[in-house]
Amino acid sequence: MNKKTGNCPNFSMRQKTASVLVNKVIDKINKENLKKSNLIWLELTGCSGNIISLLDGADPNFKDLISQMVNFIYNNSLMAAEGEAAIRRLFSVADDDYILAVEGAVTTKDNGIYNIIGNWRGKPVTAYEAIKQLGEKASYVIAVGTCASDGGISAAKPNPAECVGIQSILNKKVIKLPGCPCNPDWFMGTLAYIMLCGEPELDDKARPLMFYSTLIHDICPRRPYFEKGIFASKLGEKTCMFKLGCRGPVTRVDCPITKWNHRVNWPIGDDSPCIGCAQFGFPDKMKPFISYNTTREESK
């Protein structure tokens, strides 16, 4: 897929970004000014949390994706085909134009034998083999979630299967959407932008700036409490959770805007500190997830 040009919107941390982009794509497809893209979604070493998150999306939603935007070729969890029929479908577009979305890290120990996604012609197909073969041929590769982007929980110490993010084994650029899980808006908006305009503007870690340009701390609705020095001392309090170990000051993503599960809530809205799940190095560099400020003056 060639780099597209034209009237490409420049979004940065705006609500409804994904919805606007997806609606533009659907409108162009309906007017026959744009073709549906072939989409392969591979689940590697992880929990399948990102595809579950995508199913919980709203405006845009999963139905928009599979019925109006793309030819959804393959997903480990959702497709009806089984066994070799599923793997045959997976490789059916290997010589065509397609976008590859990947969730989960890649296990590399012993040539990836600890993550087998199926069998083909009597031989096991490892996730390592699949991502190498399909990743190098894809028009675009999107790492969906923290494990695919940076290893994530799958690569946390002691990492016995030697898991890595998919960029580590591919010789091409990977667009990274860290988050545990990835918010549906981040994926749908990025995919729609690619279909309209090609590669979105990325930061130095290959994250789309339209979703990852600003610290959570800077757009947090509890920021006024921080400015006034009003801090929660325990979970459940409605003030700033900085002294409980909130990672909002170091995590770049737009959770306060997009929220989760049909935009109902997000961690801080439910009185839980941000644990930095969208930050590179999660979880090892973000622990402990809850801490208490021992320098706080005790009442006498």
Lookup result for tokens 């894809």: 138
For the cut 70, the answer to whether the pLDDT of residue 294 exceeds it is: no
Contacts of 183 (CB under 8 A, 6+ apart): 53, 211, 253, 255, 258, 260
For the cut 60, the answer to whether the pLDDT of residue 5 exceeds it is: no
In DSSP terms, which residues pair with 175 in a beta bridge? 142
For residue 193, count CB atoms less than 10 angstroms from its CB and return exposed for 0-12, middle for 13-18, buried for 19 or more. Answer: buried
Mean pLDDT is highest, among 5-9, 13-17, 83-87, 159-163, for: 159-163
What per-residue confidence (pLDDT) applies to 122? 87
User: Tens of pLDDT along 136-151?
Assistant: 999 999 999 999 999 9
Strand order across the 70-75 sheet: 70-75, 37-43, 99-103, 140-144, 175-177
Tell me the pLDDT band of 190, cut-offs 50, 70 and 90: very high
User: Tens of pLDDT along 197-227?
Assistant: 999 999 999 999 999 999 999 999 999 999 9
Task: Give residue limits of the domains in the chain.
Answer: 17-212, 216-286
> Residue 110, by phi and psi: left (phi above 0), alpha (psi -120 to 50) or beta?
left
Q: Considering only the top CATH level, what class is 216-286?
A: few secondary structures
Tell me the pLDDT band of 298, cut-offs 50, 70 and 90: very low
The average pLDDT across 12-16 equals 60
Is 250:114 a contact under the CB 8 Å cutoff?
Answer: no
Lookup result for tokens 């935007």: 69
What per-residue confidence (pLDDT) applies to 295? 47
The average pLDDT across 112-126 equals 93
What per-residue confidence (pLDDT) applies to 14? 58
Query: Per the CATH hierarchy, to which homologous superfamily does domain 17-212 belong?
Result: NADH:ubiquinone oxidoreductase-like, 20kDa subunit (3.40.50.700)
Q: What is the average pLDDT score of the chain?
A: 92
For the cut 70, the answer to whether the pLDDT of residue 22 exceeds it is: yes
Letter for the amino acid at 277? C
